[in-house]
Amino acid sequence: MTKKMKIELREEYCVGCGLCEVYCRVAHSQSRDIIKTFKKERWTVEPRVSLVIEKPLSFPLQCQHCEDAPCVKACITGAMYKNELELTLCDEDKCVGCFTCIMECPFGAIKIKENNPSLPLKCDFCFEADEPFCVLHCPNGALTLKEKIIENVDESLNDSITQVKTEEVDTDE
């Protein structure tokens, strides 16, 4: 038994501040320090979420980790895959940069990496952190973490994800 995570968006509470973008960069930086990320690594770290503003509407555009992910189906080399927690991830070693995933994504949530334009860039659910940084730092609860218990999955899989602080997780589902 393990947990399946999903970032739930309530765009009616998105304030359009862009802190999701800011902290996405921090999450994927070397230093994990916000000031160093922007002062020293700005050109090497890109946010994997894009804030879309069309006033009064605004929302963070990011991978929805679809259940039946079109990008995974379309990937010609099997680089785009679903891991044990149902997260959609890209194995960059296998990727050949054909960008079929970008064409297939119904949300337009996959970008081309600016500093390595032969690779796609997408939300990896802050795989190495305890909780996705965009959720952690959203000031208005527009992004929340939903979890679903899945039966019959190997316990030994990725500890970092299963250790998510449960008190901050909405388990209403």
Partner 1 sequence: MGFSMLAPEFIIERNRDRCIDCRVCEKQCSMEAHYYDPDEEKVYSREEKCINCHRCISLCPTRALCIKENPQEFKRNANWSRNSIREIQKQAQTGGILLSGMGNPKPFPIYWDNILLNASQVTNPSIDPLREPMELKTFLGRKPKKLELNQDGSLKTEVPPQLELSMPVMFTAMSFGSISLNASTALAMAAKETDICYNTGEGGLHESLYSYGNWTIIQVASGRFGVYQDYLEAGSSIEIKIGQGAKPGIGGHLPGEKVGEEVASTRMIPKGTDALSPAPHHDIYSIEDLRQLIYALKESTRYKKPVSVKIAAVHNVAAIASGIARAGADIITIDGIRGGTGAAPTRIRDSVGIPVEFALAAVDERLKEEGIRNQVSVVAAGSIRNSGDIVKAVALGADAVYIGTAALVAMGCHLCRKCYTGKCNWGIATQDPWLTKRLNPEIAAERLSNLIIGWDHEFKEMMGGMGINAIESLKGNRHMLRGIGLTNRELEVLGIKLAGE
Chain residues in the site for partner 1 (CB under 8 A): 12-19, 21-23, 34-35, 37-39, 53, 55-56, 58, 137, 139-142
Task: Find the DSSP H helices in the chain.
Answer: 19-27, 34-40, 70-74, 100-104, 133-137, 159-162
Minimum gap (Å) between residue 52 Cβ and partner 1: 12
Question: Is the separation of the CB atoms in 62 and 14 below 8 Å?
Answer: no
Closer by beta carbon to partner 1, 30 or else 77: 30
Cβ at position 171, least distance to partner 1 in Å: 15
Nearer to partner 1, 51 or 123 (CB): 51
How far is 164 from 159, CA to CA, in rounded Å? 9
CB of 39 to partner 1, least distance (A): 7
Indicate the residue among 17 and 153 with the shorter CB distance to partner 1: 17
Q: DSSP letter at 156? A: T
Length of the chain: 173
